[in-house]
Amino acid sequence: MSVARVTEITSQSPRSFEDAIRQGIRRANETLRNISGGWVKEQQVEVADGKITGYRVNLLVTFILEDAPRGRAAAAKAPAPAKAAPAKPAPARKAAPKARARR
């Protein structure tokens, strides 16, 4: 069974939306393994003096998580569980006074 994760990234290009998408996927591929797809969540343009100066996209990138190792080899590589701190000894109690014998 495969398990996937989705992460959101933002990418920008001065050329086009398509170039912003390509740059975003290329950059995500440098960090994430097993990318299986993506989709454009938002598109925005930057404007200066009435002209488009940049194209920005918010991408949702899907990648398949790798399976965790199993078996003895995995157990040998797994970090040892943290040891609990030793319990503090209970504070010493004063001995109860001895009862006096009645005469």
| The residue type at 32 | L
β partners of residue 52: 47
Residue appearing with tokens 């969540």 = 41
Residues 58-63 have a mean pLDDT of 96
The answer to whether residue 11 scores a pLDDT higher than 90 is yes
Has residue 56 been placed in a domain? yes
What does the DSSP assignment read for 37-72?
EEEEEEEEEEEETTEEEEEEEEEEEEEEPPPPP-HH
Has residue 100 been placed in a domain? no
The tens digit of pLDDT for each residue in 66-103 reads 887 776 655 556 566 666 566 666 666 666 666 666 66
The tens digit of pLDDT for each residue in 37-54 reads 999 999 999 999 999 999
- C-alpha distance from residue 42 to each of 8, 10, 21, 93 (Å): 11, 9, 11, 69
Has residue 81 been placed in a domain? no
- C-alpha distance from residue 10 to each of 37, 47, 90 (Å): 15, 18, 57
Has residue 50 been placed in a domain? yes
Residue 39 structural domain: 4-67
Count of structural domains, the chain: 1
The residue among 2 and 74 whose pLDDT is bigger is 2
Has residue 22 been placed in a domain? yes
Residues 3-16 have a mean pLDDT of 96
Helix (H) or strand (E) holding 25: helix 17-31
Has residue 98 been placed in a domain? no
The answer to whether residue 59 scores a pLDDT higher than 90 is yes
Across 12-35, b (16+ Cβ under 10 Å) vs e yields ebeeebeebbeebbeebeeebeee
Has residue 32 been placed in a domain? yes
Find the CATH number of the domain harbouring 44: 3.30.1660.10
Predicted TM-score of the model (pTM): 0.62
pLDDT band at 1 (very low <50, low <70, confident <90, very high): confident
